[in-house]
Structure 1
Amino acid sequence: MNNGQYDIEGGIFIRFAMIGRPVLNGLAAKGQRRKRDQHCATLFAHDIVGALRRTLGFRRKGEPVDDAAVEEFLAAAIWATPVEDFVVLVGIDATPRDAMKRSVSKRLAERLTAEFEFFTDPGFYHGHSGTGPLGPSQ
């Protein structure tokens, strides 16, 4: 599958709405400890890759790549995002927050598409409930 045929940026943007507030607070150094938490980058990367993995597979230089490698790469990209960007993401005003979500989503999608190739692979991931394109497992 060509990288341009799937909306990676849109998929990441949606995950911002779905990820828990404590994870974003941890990335913005606004959590209970008031320190930036690197584990939150790992949790967010895991969430994004899990969502993308429902329909896509990942390749690097033509070879399939396991989810852990993609998560590690994405966690490093999330951690490299300036803390100031995440402060805006946990802010009260929706207009700059949504603009920043779009901006960060775009940057992360660009990093992913520069490093990995995507291909349709819906039968590979069956979710935690055991369902997939063939229906519930018996």
Structure 2
Amino acid sequence: MASAHDIEGHIFIRFALVGRPVLNGLAGKGQRRRRDPLSATLFARDIVGSLRRQISFSRQGQPADDATVEEFLREAIWQIPTESFVDLVGIDAGRRDKTKREVSKALAAKLMAEFEIVDDPAFYHGHAGTGPLGPKA
């Protein structure tokens, strides 16, 4: 079911929605003027929490809990060069969007290489239609 979900696009959108202090922390442009590892943790948590509304993750056929996926993604985010995050908090919109696309693509590729994507809508309550989304088509 990996093709049914645009992981790269989803991560791209999270860049627009994550707080500016998180991106500043990753760029070393925050209050302390150095990279903040907590920012990588917060961004990973934001991405995984958002993705989990539609999918879940497994590794070698075994379900992977959110903490495992968050830790993997946190490490992947931390490995992104500081210069990329400096571009993301810069004033050049063209450069920001290009960098967001590149980073989103890299993070999605790493995530999909490590984990299998499993279709798992958070609000699905069976075919009876008892959940807020109603019956599954």
TM norm. shorter chain > 0.5:
yes
> How far apart, CA to CA, are the structure 2 residues paired with 1:99 and 1:123?
31
Residue of structure 2 equivalent to 1:38: 37
The TM-score, its normalising length taken from structure 2, stands at 0.90
After TM superposition, the runs of 4+ consecutive aligned structure 1 residues lying more than 2 A away are: none
Residue of structure 2 equivalent to 1:102: 101
Deviation for aligned residue 1:124: 6.5
Residue of structure 2 equivalent to 1:52: 51
CA displacement, residues 47-87 of structure 1 (integer Å, 9 cap, x when unaligned): 00001000001000011000000000000000000000000
Residue of structure 2 equivalent to 1:135: 132
1:117 aligns with 2:116: yes
> How far apart, CA to CA, are the structure 2 residues paired with 1:20 and 1:120?
28
Deviation for aligned residue 1:6: 1.1
> How far apart, CA to CA, are the structure 1 residues paired with 2:116 and 2:106?
16
Question: What letter is aligned with 2:54?
Answer: T
Question: What letter is aligned with 1:50?
Answer: G
Question: What letter is aligned with 2:132?
Answer: G
> How far apart, CA to CA, are the structure 1 residues paired with 2:3 and 2:60?
17
Residue of structure 1 equivalent to 2:70: 71
Q: Percent identity?
A: 64
> How far apart, CA to CA, are the structure 2 residues paired with 1:123 and 1:112?
20
Quote the RMSD (CA, aligned, Å).
1.8
The TM-score, its normalising length taken from structure 1, stands at 0.89
